[in-house]
Structure 1
Amino acid sequence: MTMIPFRNFALTVLPVSCAAALFLAACQSSEPPLDPNAPLEIAYSQSEFRRYERPGDATLAGQAFLHDQGDTIPCTGQPVLLFPRTRSFERMVELARMKAHPVLPEATDPRLNAVMRRAVCDTDGNFIFKNLPRGRWYVFTRVRWSAGDLGMVGGDLIGEADTSAGTARVILDDRNRI
């Protein structure tokens, strides 16, 4: 196991491209402290991810959107990240829900690419993942729109899906906002 030190800071300071950063840190296995501002030291454990590294026969379809003043705004053009629901990722999601994210080291861990999947929302906010291993997953995306003088507004969404039956559908909306 390799130990990598991290520190936390608020979600609002992260640029849009850092969405994947949360998940790059998530392949660590020791439990971080519950204090979102405390330093983290997290260990990577490949044994958690082995079953998610290979393609499978499952499919996950979904849609993501937020509501604003009576309008439904889809995640058009935004990346959608799918990552296994393992103990390591559960801890990272817990931190995200606390509005904290680990700061990653400069070098990313390529092992994560074997377990994380990516898609893009279409104009209606729909997305699909095919050839997944059957199992439990976290789904992450963002919804952004221009609000005039306020600039870009919106929110990050995290949901859960289970492809154990071979197919699954997930809807991410205001209830999944972090």
Structure 2
Amino acid sequence: MLTRLNFAGFAILSLLAVVLVGCNHKMTQRFDPAEYSAYAGPGDGAILGQGFLRDRGRRIVPCARQLVIITPATAYTREWAMSLRRGWDTDSSEITRLRDHGIGRSAVCDLDGRFTIENLKPGRWIAVIAVIFPVGYPAVGDAIWGEVDVRPGQAAELTLTQ
């Protein structure tokens, strides 16, 4: 299911970061809107992906029903994704503006952890997923992310795990 990137998705990822570690992070990279202009509007590329973690028992836990967020790969979005991965609370206000310009995308993983994002412009993209699975309180999980090159008219494959 393809949906527009929304603030709730970023809020969920930011909340996961606070719950898992609770550290605050001030971004050092500057948000430059000009870096994102080439990604605006629909394209003919796609990402076919899958996301999963392994629990303590080494069982595979897919990103079932979890939100996948796709943003152009820039220094700013790399730092944002890495801060989520490290469990830092990060200001996502600039990232949420991408949806206003038709640049950010999102999808929801199916029950097997697969997702598809279509109509992407060619270029390098970052995908971020918060994989959460209940094993008590609080829930356990992690943010996973990766980069992929999307080429015109092609579907790039991406597996996110750690």
Normalization by structure 1: what TM-score? 0.68
User: Which deviates further from its counterpart, 60-69 or 162-171?
Assistant: 162-171
Q: Which residue identity is paired with 2:66? A: Q
Is residue 133 of structure 2 the alignment partner of residue 145 of structure 1? yes
* SS at 2:133 equivalent: strand
Which residues in structure 2 correspond to 1:24-103 (within 5 Å)?
A: 39=26, 44-68=31-55, 69-103=57-91
User: Which deviates further from its counterpart, 88-97 or 119-128?
Assistant: 88-97
Aligned residue number for residue 11 of structure 2: 18
User: Which deviates further from its counterpart, 51-60 or 40-49?
Assistant: 40-49
Unaligned runs of 5+ in 1: 1-14, 23-35
- Equivalents in 2 of 1:48, 1:57: separation in Å? 20
Is residue 116 of structure 2 the alignment partner of residue 132 of structure 1? no
Q: Cα distance 1:74–1:86, how it changes in 2: closer, same or farther (>3 A)?
A: same
- Equivalents in 2 of 1:46, 1:16: separation in Å? 21
- Equivalents in 2 of 1:112, 1:59: separation in Å? 18
Q: Which residue identity is paired with 1:112? A: L
- 8 A contact 2:85–2:142 mirrored in 1: no
* SS at 2:42 equivalent: coil
* SS at 2:83 equivalent: helix
Normalization by structure 2: what TM-score? 0.74
Q: Cα distance 1:116–1:75, how it changes in 2: closer, same or farther (>3 A)?
A: same
Aligned residue number for residue 118 of structure 1: 106
Q: Cα distance 1:83–1:151, how it changes in 2: closer, same or farther (>3 A)?
A: same
Q: Cα distance 1:143–1:128, how it changes in 2: closer, same or farther (>3 A)?
A: same
Aligned residue number for residue 33 of structure 1: none
> What is the aligned-residue RMSD (CA, Å)?
2.9
Larger RCO, structures 1/2 (Cα 8 Å, 6+ apart): 2
Equivalences, count: 144
- 8 A contact 2:10–2:92 mirrored in 1: no
User: Which deviates further from its counterpart, 161-170 or 89-98?
Assistant: 89-98
* SS at 1:65 equivalent: strand
Aligned residue number for residue 155 of structure 1: 142
Q: Cα distance 1:38–1:111, how it changes in 2: closer, same or farther (>3 A)?
A: closer
Unaligned runs of 5+ in 2: 1-7, 16-22
- Equivalents in 2 of 1:126, 1:94: separation in Å? 22
- Equivalents in 1 of 2:128, 2:48: separation in Å? 13
Structure number, greater radius of gyration: 1
